[in-house]
């Protein structure tokens, strides 16, 4: 199928997609640029043409793409679901699908980068922080539709993102979706409490 991107942008996108896929499987430090080039099919010169700063710049682009993809999952789940519980189910079903399709090898690339390189690479740490901010903001906005004030919604949204991220790590470690199921149950209880308080 022909790419919808102009040629130069299509090459750049293949590099970012490949970097993201490899980070999910091997972490940031476990992903070499030669492997990214081989997976993407892009010529070596194109990497430094599109990413003059090399691996860090490519990693930041991959983290940004991961952020956009998960934000889209959140957005779809919260706008199409018939209830808060259904929104949780929809989101968790997508995450389970990713884990199971990769035989529990593919985790969250943002947490992988944050844990792998965030303490030594400030631009990467900032990129991860910006993605988490965007996710928290998206969940916080959803919670505010139930009448929560920002000062209530923000910490609750942060806790919810922590639940999801932590459950993904445990699911990979256990090779089981049980931690995600447990997190889903807790998220539903939190949503029910929010809904009850808003309608009290």
- Distance (Å, whole) CA 113 – CA 93: 24
What fold does the segment set 7-198 form as a domain? Answer: Tetracycline Repressor; domain 2 (1.10.357)
Structure-model confidence comparison of residues 111 and 1, the more confident one: 111
Residue 122: is its pLDDT beyond 60?
A: yes
Two tokens, residue 144: 């505010």
- Helices 122-144, 150-174: crossing angle, 10 deg rounding: 120
Domain segments of the chain as ranges: 7-198
pLDDT above 70 covers a percentage of the chain that reads 94
State pLDDT tens for residues 58-89: 999 999 999 999 999 899 988 888 888 888 99
Would you place residue 134 in the very low, low, confident or very high pLDDT band (cuts 50, 70, 90)?
Answer: very high
SS (H, E, C) 42-103: CCHHHHHHHCCCCHHHHHHHHHHHHHHHHHHHHHHHHHHCCCHHHHHHHHHHHHHHHHHHCC
Give the pLDDT mean for 119-130: 94
Residue 5: is its pLDDT beyond 70?
A: no
Q: What is the pLDDT of residue 174?
A: 96
């Amino acid at each position: 199928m022909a790419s919808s991107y102009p040629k130069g942008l299509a090459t750049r996108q293949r590099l970012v997609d490949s970097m993201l896929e490899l980070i999910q499987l091997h972490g940031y430090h476990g992903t070499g640029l030669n492997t990214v080039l081989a997976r993407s099919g892009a010529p070596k010169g194109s990497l430094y043409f599109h990413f003059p700063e090399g691996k860090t710049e490519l990693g930041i682009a991959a983290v940004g793409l991961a952020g956009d993809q998960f934000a889209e999952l959140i957005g779809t789940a919260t706008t199409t679901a018939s209830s808060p519980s259904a929104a949780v189910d929809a989101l968790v079903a997508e995450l389970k699908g990713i884990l199971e399709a990769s035989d529990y090898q593919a985790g969250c690339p943002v947490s992988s980068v944050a844990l792998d390189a965030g303490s030594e690479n400030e631009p990467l740490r900032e990129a991860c922080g910006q993605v988490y901010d965007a996710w928290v903001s998206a969940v916080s906005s959803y919670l505010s539709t139930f009448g929560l004030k920002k000062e209530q919604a923000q910490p609750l949204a942060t806790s919810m993102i922590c639940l999801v991220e932590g459950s993904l790590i445990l699911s990979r470690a256990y090779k089981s979706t049980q931690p995600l199921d447990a997190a889903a149950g807790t998220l539903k209880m939190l949503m029910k409490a929010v809904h009850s308080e808003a309608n009290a």
